Each structure stands twice: as structure tokens, then as C-alpha cells.
Amino acid sequence: MFSLIKGHTNTIELLKGALDNPEGVPPVYLFAGVSGVGKRLVAFQTARYVNCTGTKMLDCGCKSCTIAKAKNHPGIITYAVPKRGVFSVGMARNLKSESDKRPFIGKYKVFIIEGFHKATGEASNALLKLLEEPPSYCIIILLTDDLDRTMDTILSRCFSLNFFGVDSKYITEFLISNLSIESKKAGNIAKLAGGSFSKAMEFLSADRHTSRKILFEMLLRLSYTTDKTILSTCTYFKENFNIHTVLEDILMFFLDVKKFQMGIRELTDDSFDVEALSLMFTPTSLDSALGLLFYTGGSDLENKEELFLSSFFLDVRGIMRKEYLFGVFV
Ligand SMILES: [Zn+2]
């Protein structure tokens, strides 16, 4: 059942040990690891595994596996937190009342909660009793991108498994064999994706929104991004996008941050967490960064775009680090 999952060998072994435990399957799990690393897939396969009445292999055709594969299994219930939402107390209460009803297909009812790092304190508290003593037919799998945001009282009730970034060689192989990506490109994308399959897929779909997302994350982490990552990201931008549009997007983000810092909430693109980005810049460092953008923006960039973009990021990073150094943030 788990042969589909690349990497995570030790984690899967621990999980299988728990699921095959003759003394009983632990009822509550916490899968922790960065987004896109495969937690959801493992959770789904776990749900299939515990309800399988056949071979427990990937290609099993038992009744339970067949409806699970068709994503139609009434005993596999997923709670997905909306992108900019939270796992609310209402969702927790719904889960509780669903857990009171016995499964009508299969041995277990499996609840998968995606994005549990977005659970409110109230929602976490509402789940404590259920996690302590779930009905014998329930299995609950919490998925978190950020372990630090999970309450200790929750952690102590879970069988926790860590999902580390997948080795880039697995992502490279996956891109080559499943998506026929040329090997050099596959290797580059795998490195940039930092162990996340879903990030790798994002890097492949080179549309404007994707480029913005990559750019936004880069700006958010810029003060501690290494030279190597800055340079490879710039190469990626050059190979997949027009650098002039990337510069326009940088300008847009910076102007949104400026508006945000001035208390204006009508932003050009509010699908990004501009508030988080605004915390990375003081008004002074933001003005310096904007100055750099305008200063070189007017000159002839022909054939020098990649160079300009990388030196721009390096300079802005320098400005941000200098402020940390002089204690502006203290
Ligand atoms: Zn089966």
C-alpha cells in the first residue's frame, strides 16, 4: 500500500509497525513536515490500509480499496482547512459528532485533518477528550506543516511521525519517469523544491501566479536565504519567465507592503500574506529596496536581466541584514 510513496523509508516503517501492532492500532496520529512532502498521501494510504480486507497491496481490488481509490469511501473523512482560514471550533465539533456514528463500511472510520497547524486554541481544546479516548472504530490523523504550533496537550495524545523533505534524487526520478522532464531540468527543479513534491509541481507549471508565489516566498525568507538559492532561483526565473514581469511583481509586492505599513488595506493583490512580508521590512529598508528597484529599473537590462535580478536580491538582503545587525528590530 505504501510502495507508491517515495522516500520517508524510516517514517513508513514506523507507521507500518504501528498499524500492524497485534495489540491494537494506535488511534491518533500526528504527521508533521513541511507542506507538499507527502503527508496527505500517506494519510490516505493509511486509511486504505486499515480498512483493506484483501492483499493490503497498492493494487488491491477489495471492495473497500475500490471505493477508496474512487475517492468515495464513506469511512474516510477529510477536513481541509481553507487557504486563508483556520481549523475552527465548528469543524472540531462536527468531527466529534461524526465520530459518534459507527462506520457502515469497513472496520474503521478514519478522519484526516489537513492543516492542523491552523487549528485555533478553542478547536484544539474541543478535540482533547476525543483524542484522549476515541471510539474503538475511529482513527484520527492530524497533518501539520508546523509542529511548533501544536499544543503539548495534543502532542502527548498522538503517535507522532516526522516527514522530512524528500531527497531531491527521488523528486528528480519522479519528474523524469512520470512527467518525461529532461534530466538536467528535472535535477534543477528538484533542488529548488527543497524536498517537496508539490513545490516541484508548482515550479513546473510556469504561470504568472506561480512565479508570484515563488517570488513572494523568496522575499519572505530573503534575509536568511543563501547566495546559492538566490542564484538558482534567478536562473529559474530567467528560464521560465520574462524578468521584466518578475520586476513588476517585486514592485507590486513592495508597494503593497508600503500601503500596509501606512495603514491602507486596499492592496493590489490580497491573495498573499502582505502582513507577514511587511514584518520583514522597516519603512526605511523598504524605501532603500524600492530605490534600488527604480535606480536600475530605468537602465538597459538587455541580456543582463538575470545578473540584475540576482544582484538586486543580494543587495536587498544586505539591507535587511544590516538592520538586524544594528538592532532596529530589538
Ligand atoms: Zn484492499
In tens, the pLDDT along 17-60 reads 999 998 889 999 999 988 878 899 999 999 999 999 999 998 89
Cβ–Cβ < 8 Å for 278, 253: no
Distance 92 CA to ligand 1 centre (A): 29
* pLDDT at residue 328 tops 60: no
44 with 151, same domain?
Answer: yes
Distance 1 CA to ligand 1 centre (A): 9
| Among 4-13, 190-199, 210-219, the range of highest mean pLDDT | 210-219
Longest CA span, the chain = 71
Helix and strand counts by DSSP (H, E) for the chain: 15, 5
Cβ–Cβ < 8 Å for 198, 235: no
Distance 50 CA to ligand 1 centre (A): 9
As for how many domains the chain has, the answer is 3
Q: Which residues pair with 322 in a beta bridge?
A: none
Distance 64 CA to ligand 1 centre (A): 6
155 with 294, same domain?
Answer: no
Confidence (pTM): 0.63
Q: Is 2 inside a domain boundary?
A: no
At 230, list the grid cell: 538566490
Distance 16 CA to ligand 1 centre (A): 15
55 with 189, same domain?
Answer: no
Q: CA-CA-CA-CA torsion for 9, 15, 17, 21, nearest 10 degrees?
A: -170
In percent, the amount of the chain with pLDDT more than 70 equals 95
Summarised one tens digit per residue, pLDDT across range 243-301 is: 888 888 899 899 999 999 999 888 877 778 898 899 889 999 999 998 888 765 455 66
Distance 28 CA to ligand 1 centre (A): 22
Mean pLDDT of the 107-126 span? 93
At 101, list the grid cell: 456514528
Using the 3D structure, point to which of 179, 202, 225 is the last residue of a domain.
202
Sign of the dihedral through C-alpha 317, 320, 324, 329: negative
Nearest to 259 by CA among 281, 243, 241: 281
Instruction: Provide the strand spans (E) within the chain.
Output: 28-32, 76-80, 109-114, 138-144, 159-162
* Domain of residue 309, residue span: 205-325
With cell 474516510, the residue in question is: 76
Distance 177 CA to ligand 1 centre (A): 27
Using the 3D structure, point to which of 162, 194, 224 is the last residue of a domain.
162
Cβ–Cβ < 8 Å for 143, 115: yes
Helix (H) or strand (E) holding 174: helix 168-179
19 with 156, same domain?
Answer: yes
* Radius of gyration of the chain, Cα coordinates, nearest whole angstrom: 23
CA 125 to chain CA centroid, Å, is 24
